[in-house]
Structure 1
């Protein structure tokens, strides 16, 4: 019997479009090579997600890599950290109200011990989600989750099995009685190696129907 539910954020609860930030970064003058494996900004994004750099450092360092137009007649102003923050948060499209309602309903279901969030995310995206959805329109973050596990705070990220083991340990839960939902098959496979039940959420999989909420 399932007693514990652990949700990923982006792609499961939060609608996202990763290309938004990349396209806007390039439009701000960031060389595309910076966003490829081996690029400085590519590595910086991973370090930021793991909580090894602050939001201010992230935005300042990405901005420093942006190159203004060489056309002196209509040169664009230098890219600012605020420009980077806005471009970065453009990834986050929205959280549908029916998903928030489903989380609340699930927490009130008899036999459910915990509903948690486990996400590879960063401070700017997390604060943006809280401001616009989890703590907005009369909502409170505590309405939706018993525990929150974020890569930026744990210094761990999926698909490292240790992030799942840590969550299970801190929940005091049985892996066999816990399900993890993610939009990445790589991540659900990693969770399965830790004994968790899993559901890979795709455009063809409605997790609300799948869980019978």
Structure 2
């Protein structure tokens, strides 16, 4: 690995713990068929891509869930609860690791997310960590639903690089999804696959030569 000056972090299962299996079961309980192909870590229905790129609104997403579940009686609250069951949480120690990394590198957050999850996470951070958002942990934060692109689209990486005048060869991207790393490589970034749980982020960074 060449000398690193900048780090772009993914959020889910790098910093904030998520669990696809819980959400699969929750969506299944709503009446969603073929749940393994409908929503999974390695692939999912295009409804999620559209939500994550801001192509559809949360209301349109919920209507899509009702249509696929063939149940028009599902409430917004039921759908949101099932969808947000993906989100487990983040430890204070993980935030401390990010603050330490920020002292030695220019750090950024790049997350495939959506308005429903974003609103839930911001509320969670305020209640559990007494902070309004993730802004204090990074130089800048990027969320796919606001950028209108999602990983692994090369355009999303190129936007972060351009807006912050980053040298891709000196920039490391960390994600838990191999396919996302391929998009980052196309943009010239160095990449690292997260193979630990978020609670072990500090150990993982140190073992890969990152100064914290």
> What is the count of residue pairs matched by the alignment?
199
Q: Deviation string for 1:81-128 (max 9, x for gaps)?
A: 11000100000111122111111122233xx3x211111111111222
* SS at structure 1 position matched to 2:31: coil
Residues 1-213 of structure 1: matches in 2 within 5 Å?
Answer: 1-32=3-34, 36=38, 42-67=45-70, 78-109=73-104, 112=105, 114-133=106-125, 136-140=128-132, 141-203=134-196, 206-209=203-206, 210=208, 211-213=210-212
Gaps of at least 5 residues in structure 2 are: none
Flag the structure with higher helix content.
2
Normalised to the residue count of structure 1, the TM-score between the two structures is 0.82
Structure 1 residue 35: deviation in Å?
5.2
CA–CA separation in structure 1 for the residues paired with 2:30 and 2:81? 11
Q: Deviation string for 1:155-201 (max 9, x for gaps)?
A: 21111212111110011111112111001122223212322121110
Normalised to the residue count of structure 2, the TM-score between the two structures is 0.83
Tell whether the 8 Å contact from 1:179 to 1:196 is kept in structure 2 after alignment. yes
Runs of 4+ in 1 over 6 A off after TM superposition: none
Structure 1 residue 13: deviation in Å?
0.7
CA–CA separation in structure 1 for the residues paired with 2:35 and 2:6? 42
Deviates more, 1:5-14 or 1:55-64: 55-64
Larger gyration radius, structure 1 or structure 2: 1
